Amino acid sequence: MSRLPALCITLALICSAAPLLAADPPRKPGPQSMPVPPAISPAAQAFYANLRPRPSSPPDIGNPKVLAFTRQFLGKMFAAHAVELGIEYQLERAASDTVEAYWLRAGELRTDKVLIYLHGGGQILGSAKTNLVTPLRVMGATGVPVLSVEYRLAPEHPFPAGLHDALAAYRWLLANGFEPADIGVFGDSAGGNLALAMPLLARDEGLAQPAALVLLSPSIDRTRTGDSHATMPAFDPVLGAPTAEVYAVDVALDHPLVSPLFADLHGLPPMLIQVGTRERLLSDSVRLARNARRAGVAVTLDVWDGMWHVWQGNPVIPEAGQAAGEIGAFFRRHLGIDSRL
């Protein structure tokens, strides 16, 4: 694989591991082809100004060495992003024999509430041990510890392995004294997919629902049928065409737990969706909000002007901190947390 370091540097611009970049129609990122709203922060404008050209071909994830190198490189990058926050935190493996997960803690936190975090990465990248910026910010905004799930990744472990790990983490918390009403679930990108699919599977298996869901730029339509998948590729600064086939092996891409946009959403808890106007997954979030309302789910769709895919994981832009503040307020409200505590 030639020029792999350049490929990884481009991938590392993603502020939280996102679905794998693949070839798209050529375009030069920047203000010339992608006008930047003047109202966004100078730091966010700098993000656009500093974009590198997208690779002309996708990474060869069928090559184990390429995939391992990319995972390692991105892991170091994301861990460095967490250091930029300047937060002293502890990451401790949870004492579960059913799923690998890690407690993320910093400072004084409540012990009667918990948030489950499911990281992004297209179901092939990312780690609970390195994708830390967003959960650290959300933890700070809620005062609640985060259980970050190290779910199994494709292509080694295709669907439904990662989903089963997410449900195992929820079951483990219930078995260890947490009530469903004391548990919130959030995830970004592919983790947003799992954060929606897991409560669906829990419902179908007769489990009570968690208190609230937060989905950040969720990748929920593996068929890529939404309008923005056709209109936004040239304007999305982060995502190329997702490679869903390595995750959904021998299962239809419109399976409701692979593409939970198409699921029956009845009975799900209140839901907050955050998505940017500059991402190809925008229409997925819009359609999900509409479907949720039709199913009687209390849903808030928050569309951020000028923001890209999973901007919440950027360690420097103020919009990321603002988004975390809104996530924190949503969780505090639905988990019954007094913001004065």
H-state helical runs in the chain: 4-12, 42-49, 64-84, 133-142, 161-175, 190-204, 227-231, 282-294, 318-335
Chain centroid offset of residue 71 CA: 16
Strand 183-188 to 212-216 pairing: parallel
ω before 155 within 30° of 0 (cis)? yes
Among candidates 282, 153, 158, 159, which has minimal Cα distance to 220?
282
Active-site choice (127, 219, 229, 279): 279
Mark whether 309 is an active-site residue.
Answer: yes
Active-site choice (81, 229, 309, 334): 309
Mark whether 279 is an active-site residue.
Answer: yes
Query: Please, what is the Cα angle at 138 between 132 and 159, to 5 degrees?
Result: 60
Residue whose entry in the numeric block shows the structure tokens 């901190």: 321
Among candidates 335, 283, 282, 288, which has minimal Cα distance to 304?
282
H-state helical runs in 176-238: 190-204, 227-231
Residue whose entry in the numeric block shows the structure tokens 């992003």: 81
Mark whether 156 is an active-site residue.
Answer: no
Residue 162 in contact with residue 250, Cβ under 8 Å? no
Query: Which two three-digit tokens encode residue 92?
Result: 């401790």
Other CB atoms within 10 Å distance of the CB of residue 176: 11
Active-site choice (16, 127, 189, 228): 189
What is d(CA 262, CA 10) in angstroms, rounded to the nearest whole number? 32
Say what the alpha-carbon torsion angle 68, 69, 74, 80 is, to the nearest 10 degrees.
120
Residue whose entry in the numeric block shows the structure tokens 């106007």: 277
Q: Cite the active site residues.
A: 189, 279, 309
